[in-house]
Every structure is written in C-alpha cells, then in structure tokens.
Amino acid sequence: MKTTVPIHLEILRQPQFAAGEYDTGFVGRLLG
Amino acid sequence: MRRVDGAEDFAARYQEASLEAEKAFSNPGLYLEKYIVDGRHIEFQVMADAYGARRPPRRARVFRAAAAPEAPRGVPLTRTRRGDARGNRRPALRGPPAVGYRNAGTVEFFRDPAGTSTFMEMNARLQVEHPVTEMITGRDLVAEQIRLAANEPLSFRQEEVRSQGHAIECRINAEDPAQDFRPSPGLIQVFRPPDGALSFEIGDSGGGAAKGGDAEGTAAQSDPSIRVRVDTHVRDGYRIPPHYDSLLAKIIVWGPTRDAARRGMIDALTHSASKG
C-alpha cells in the first residue's frame, strides 16, 4: 500500500523547508 | 477558469471563459480575482461567543505548520505592505464580530512573495488542521466549539491566549505521490503510529485533543521537549474504502522551535509504519 509518508519525509528534509523558505509552489517544484 | 498573465491576453481569455460559462450554466457572468504565484497561505483561527470574547492564534496553512515562519505583521481586510504593524491580527479579530458571527471561524489570507497580504475568505468552521493551533496554545478547540454551540461563553479571555513553540501536522493518506496522489484503497494488515525512539502513549479514541485526546505522547528518549499527537481511526485489519477520503492519520509534532518540531516529525514518521 502506498502512503504519503515518503513525500512528507522528503519535504521535511529539504534545506529550503528547514529554512522556512517555502510557498504554495514548493511541493509542485519538488515533484517536478 | 482562465489565467491571464498580461493585459494583452485579457480580452480573449475573458471571452473564452464567458462563452464557456454561458454554455455550461446559462450565465456568462465571471468572477475575477488576483492570481498570486508562489505565495503563502496564512490562516487565523477565530472563536467568538455571544459575550464579547474572541481569540485569534495565528497559524500557517502551508504544510499545516504553526506558527508561520514569517507570519505577516499586517493583514488587513484589503491590502497592506509587510512591516505595517498596525493591522497585526486585527482584521481577523474585527471581521467575525462585525458581521455578528458566533463560534469557530477560519479567516484566510494569502501573502505574495513581495510581502503583500490579501484577504481571501472566512470559512464558517473550525480549521481543518486545528490540532496545530491546539498544540501551540494548549486549548481544546473542539470543546470550546461545543461550549459555544450551547451558548456558553468561551472558557478563556483573549489576553489569556498564549502561543508557545511550533507545530507541524502531516496528513498520512493512502495515496501514491508518484502517481499524482492516486488513492490506494485496500486492507491494512499492520498499522503502527509513531513509536520506537518515541515514548508513546495511546489514549482513548474519544475526547479532546490538546488535553490528552486521541493519542498523544512525548519523545522522552530522543528529545523530552518534543510532543507527538496522532489522530487516527485506523487499526490493524481496517479496510480503506475506495469511495471516501483516504486519510489514515494526522500526525502532529510540537517543539520549542520550528526546527525541533521538524526534526521531531522526521523521527515520528520514521518510526511509524503501515502495511497492506
């Protein structure tokens, strides 16, 4: 079964997210 | 819906959309709104009773985090520039009483990259991600909502509201991110909310949130200052229905700093598991 846990972890580990530098386009750019 | 990036395209796009609306709804009327690229969604939870009390702890909708890393210092109902402190949270406070609103409401703003905040809407309900606000304020918002519905006053005053630390919420869905978040229904054989490095206590399924509701615990081993809460209806043997929301759980982590909350969430997600 697939869950959203992996994408959450990927987001949390992004330096940009860690620095608080994200916006509504962040996830879309990450998924490319 | 049409996006227009320049005045030269406006007339053509408008006509297209208008014709489409008339064909579909027998009404060519259109609604125009500003399109903001790569902005930030900011929400204020407001609760108003019939006795003059109200509360607006701020939170950010983006990744369900509270408080926002750069919460706006001015968010009037029209527009202002970042740095204008006069409007700090006041519009969110003024709006509901001005229209005679009672109970929980969510006032939403959108901030563009230049720092200009624009009012979007007010939803007549509790925040979808109210646990993050509960975690930073220590208030049980669901209990307050029920009190207000019974025409009782809020149990606290505005000046008693204090926000501490940061909270992040992750919605765990049975979806495949690699397939455009396609639902992944089926039988869950094993479901384990965060444990392992986290010392975790599972509470009763009913009841409130911030005061020990669905499932709440403390990261005693890795960081005693981290608090983890899990809201879930899922158990071993649960079958995810194909026709409804694929939400499995909401995991909320609080930390004294934003980075502590972020690291705590990584711990929590790393030590959770589902198999099906």
Q: CA angle, corner B43, sides to B35 and B115, nearest 5?
A: 50
**Quick one: pLDDT band at residue B186, thresholds 50, 70, 90?**
confident
> DSSP code of B189?
S
Q: Residue B165 region, left (φ>0) first, then alpha (ψ -120 to 50), else beta?
A: left
Interface contact flag, A3 B274, Cβ < 8 Å = yes
Cα B99 to the center of its chain, rounded Å: 23
Q: Which of B13, B40, B102, B125 is catalytic?
A: B125
Q: Is residue B134 predicted with pLDDT exceeding 80?
A: yes
Cα–chain center distance at B150: 25
- What is the tens place of the pLDDT at every residue in B35-67? 888 899 888 888 888 886 555 444 432 234 455
The residue-averaged pLDDT of B163-179 equals 90
What is the ipTM, given to two decimal places? Answer: 0.96
User: Which residues 142-201 in chain B show a CB within 8 A of chain A?
Assistant: 168, 170-179, 181, 184, 186, 188
The DSSP code for B215 is: B
Whether B38 has its CB under 8 Å from any CB of chain A: the answer is yes
Residue B179: per-residue pLDDT: 85
Residues B248/B240, Cβ–Cβ less than 8 Å: yes
Q: Is the pLDDT of residue B28 over 80?
A: yes
Contacts of A8 in chain B (CB under 8 A): 170, 172, 265, 269
Residue B125 is a catalytic residue: yes
What is the SS3 assignment for B276? coil
Higher pLDDT, B71 or B37: B37
**Given a cut of 50, is residue B213 above it in pLDDT?**
no
| Three-state SS at B263 | helix
The proportion of chain B whose per-residue pLDDT surpasses 70, expressed as a percent, equals 71
Coil, helix or strand at residue B40: strand
pLDDT at B86 over 50: no
Helices of type H across B40-138: 90-98, 130-137
Per-residue pLDDT, averaged over A1-17, amounts to 92
Of B102 and B214, more confident:
B102
**pLDDT (average), residues B200-207:** 31
The pLDDT value given to residue B44: 87
**Cis amide linkage into residue B67, ω under 30° from 0:** yes
Amino acid symbol at B83? G
